[in-house]
Chain A
Amino acid sequence: MNENEDEPKDFIKLNYEKLSTDEVSELVISPCCGAVSLFIGTTRNNFEGKKVIHLEYEAYSPMAEAEIKKICRDVRQKWPSVKHIAVHHRLGLVPVTEASVIVAVSSPHRVASLEAVQYCINTLKATVPIWKKEIYEEAYSWKENKECFWADVEK
């Protein structure tokens, strides 16, 4: 067996295609790992009583990929047993109930992968330059994460 096949890898993808949970889990599965943890972010149909028709995502793409790469690097420092990490974020129009982001992490035992997935999505929401616009029936709104590290969103 080629040893290079099982080097720890980061799989980062930002594009306009529908996301696939199967594809993302298959990327991180590894013979030495007993745990794969997944987070899927899906479009919700309501915000503050307004009906959401769909979300539209935009990214400052080269920097978004670089920031996700930094998150992967931090994950590996905090959880050295983590094997593979995959972060796929969809851009453009995402209809209600479809996935906008999938994060998957594999590790030999479950604690690292569970904690790393949580860290990944939380940090993504605080630092990665991606924006979503909620489209309601009669209006739209650019959203602001409360995790955003520079804005006082809850003023």
Chain B
Amino acid sequence: QIINCLESAELAGVRSEIISVPQQLTSLQLWEEIVKRHPTLAAIQDQVVFAIRQEYVILGDQLLVLQSGDEVAIIPPISGG
């Protein structure tokens, strides 16, 4: 499946990219796929969550079923307000 990743721009050096991953995988496995492509992101593993189709998903055992074109965002700790 091809998904669109919005990345922690300063750390990874890219704003977003399209990657191909298995359709079903855990959220932790998805993280590992992304870190393979951008090893500097490993440093922030404890601080981030995903937003998959704009819903929060914690890095862990949750099984994801992804569709082509799904947007995955890496969300560092927020500071709105």
Chain B residues with CB under 8 A of A145:
77-81
Chain B residues with CB under 8 A of A41:
81
**How many contacting A-B pairs (Cβ < 8 A)?**
74
Q: Is residue A49 within 8 Å, beta carbon to beta carbon, of the partner chain?
A: no
Q: Is residue A80 within 8 Å, beta carbon to beta carbon, of the partner chain?
A: no
Q: Is residue A83 within 8 Å, beta carbon to beta carbon, of the partner chain?
A: no
Q: Is residue B2 within 8 Å, beta carbon to beta carbon, of the partner chain?
A: no
How many chain A residues sit at the interface, stated as a range, is 20 to 34
Chain A residues with CB under 8 A of B46:
151-152
Contact A129 B81 (CB under 8 A): no
Chain B residues with CB under 8 A of A59:
80
Q: Within the assembled complex, what's the spacing in Å between the Cα atoms of A142 and B51?
A: 19
Q: Is residue B73 within 8 Å, beta carbon to beta carbon, of the partner chain?
A: yes
Contact A60 B73 (CB under 8 A): yes
Q: What distance in Å separates the Cβ of A62 from its nearest Cβ neighbour in chain B?
A: 6
Contact B80 A131 (CB under 8 A): yes
Q: What distance in Å separates the Cβ of B71 from its nearest Cβ neighbour in chain A?
A: 9
Contact A130 B80 (CB under 8 A): yes
Complex interface residues of chain A between 50 and 82 (CB less than 8 A to chain B): 57, 59-60, 62-64, 66
The 15 listed contacts between A and B (C-beta, < 8 Å) are A57-B80, A125-B78, A127-B78, A129-B73, A130-B79, A131-B79, A131-B80, A132-B80, A142-B76, A144-B47, A144-B77, A145-B78, A145-B81, A151-B47, A153-B77
